Amino acid sequence: MSQENRLEKTNRINLLFDFYEALLTEKQQTFLKYYFLDDFSLGEIAAEFEISRQAVYEHIKRAEGMLETYEEKLGLLKKHELQSGVLARLQQIIEDSAMSSVHKEQAGNLLREAEQL
């Protein structure tokens, strides 16, 4: 796997983890955190938990599969990405519009409120 693909996969897993962490077992959460967030190798995780590298690999693969399954069923990441795109376009429209500075400020405040939802 190329460095770019690895980074893309890591970013996706981290985003999915943000949405679905609570749905994973404690062990799955721990192994994913070590591997994807803390950048531990399989060997380092295996040594930490006194299990084989293969066992660590299988736990991580199973947890990744669960994250993807949750995303297929719930689509929270996809909805988040769509919402972010809409909000970015709205921000651009506000910036480009000819409305008064007061109205721009009000629209900007509403946009920030929408981003917090």
Read off the pTM: 0.79
pLDDT (tens digit, 0 to 9) for every residue of the chain, 117 residues total?
A: 788 888 899 999 999 999 999 999 999 999 999 999 999 999 999 999 999 999 999 999 999 999 999 999 999 999 999 999 988 888 888 888 888 888 888 888 888 888 887
| Tokens coding 16 | 């999915």
| CA dist list (Å): 99 to 95, 112, 113 | 9, 18, 20
| CA dist list (Å): 21 to 29, 37, 51, 68, 88 | 7, 13, 23, 12, 27
pLDDT at 99: 82
- CA-wise closest residue to 20 among 61, 75, 59: 75
